[in-house]
Amino acid sequence: MKLWAGRFLKETDTLVDDFNSSIAFDARLYREDIEGSLVHAAMLGKQGIISQEDTEKICEGLTKLLTDIEAGRVEFSVDSEDIHMNVEALLTKRIGKAGKRLHTARSRNDQVAVDMRLYVKRQIREIHSLCISLLETLVEKAGESRHFVMPGYTHLQRAQPTTLAHVLLAYVEMIMRDITRLEDAYRRMDECPLGSGALAGTTYQIDRLYTAEKLGFADITRNSLDAVSDRDFCIELCSALSTLMMHLSRFSEEIILWCSWEFDYAELDDAFATGSSIMPQKKNPDVAELVRGKTGRVYGSLITLLTVMKALPLAYNKDMQEDKEATFDAIDTVKQCLKVFTPMLKTLCFRQDTMRRAASKGFINATDCADYLVRKGLPFRDAYKIVGKLVQFCLRMGETLDTLTFKDYRAISEAFEDDIYDALDIRRCVDNRDLPGGPGDSAVDAHMKFCNTFLQEHSKYFTEKNHD
């Protein structure tokens, strides 16, 4: 018999049971549900709401149940609908009447809210750690490639000279923002809803601060209606994960391009590439392509949650059961992607010579040529037009700015002097961009120092704040 069956005169249809049940996917919350129940029972005993004898029986029974679940000795029932009622039914079957006292001063509404927060907090800590590992790999790769000159692109056209380190540090910035987003999301969800009941709290003299502290929350929720009907923390997490996946997808696209014969800037390690069933020469970037593809899947989870919540009146509604599969899938997908993306990047081999050759083509030092003329006293717009004529002449003659004769330069503008070739040297063009945020050596060194400091601080974020 169902735990809520007292009101009903007939059994629910089996189709309704199957449709209504969530145990198929919320079974993964068993640990959080039992942790919450252990603390709730201890609080009930401390407050004298149930006897110490019942408290001890409940806690002992829950502890043994947790051990049996993790050992694979427990089978959950669809009849009990969800993980909360399964745990309570199994406990009551084992310890008798004392198990029926566990749900005193509690509703499934605040129970699922605390379970989800505990689970999501734990998952954020894991994803945060994976992001730190990715960041460490990025910083390491950037340090190794400080002098790898390559073209920078706009519109996927060669634009200005930069270094591979500078490009990788752009992705470092993205991942650092992702890390702080996860920390911010964690901080906002670090409030315990247990004690909110179905929507209006309880008449029992419970100790919500005790429960929150024992479950590792920083505070309690301040409004019982909001506490049981809030899923902002799931939405905010999926938003942060969607942004993280967008960054991984952009980086994946770069890797896919760089590993093509057309670019040939990099080569994937054999352990992180696949072949073709028909074309023996192929080495495919499937990992990067799958990360790019799975990004849409995480976006879908975010849209699902936003759509579920968009018109729900207070307080709890059964629609909110849909929060779990979307949140779980987003978490699983991101963790899977990070676990394979980081070692793929770590073993990626960059071709310094190919990048350097590409940087010598495409007139990526054209802006530097214009800046040279400005330093000679010309207005920038006049310098811009002169260099445009130079580029047009080079295209007509099959030359580059580096291969033009000094006579050719003087024919277009007498402002050019024999130091023009030094000014157009690609390495010098990069070194001259040494303002903070640029690809020059001292700018990159300063950026690397900042990144290492960030890593030292944020790799310890949850440990130092006792969030373990």
* Residue 155 annotated in active site: yes
* Residue 37 annotated in active site: no
| Neighbour tally for 434: CB within 10 Å | 15
The amino acid occupying position 62 is L
Determine if the peptide bond prior to 315 is cis (ω within 30°).
Answer: yes
253 alpha carbon, distance to own chain's centre: 17
d(CA 352, CA 148): 6
Q: Residues 128, 155, 166, 249: which is the catalytic one?
A: 155
Q: Residues 51, 77, 260, 276: which is the catalytic one?
A: 276
Neighbouring-strand partners of residue 158: 153
Picking from 59, 64, 35, the residue whose alpha carbon sits closest to that of residue 211 is 35
Neighbouring-strand partners of residue 304: none
Would you name the residues annotated as active-site residues?
155, 276
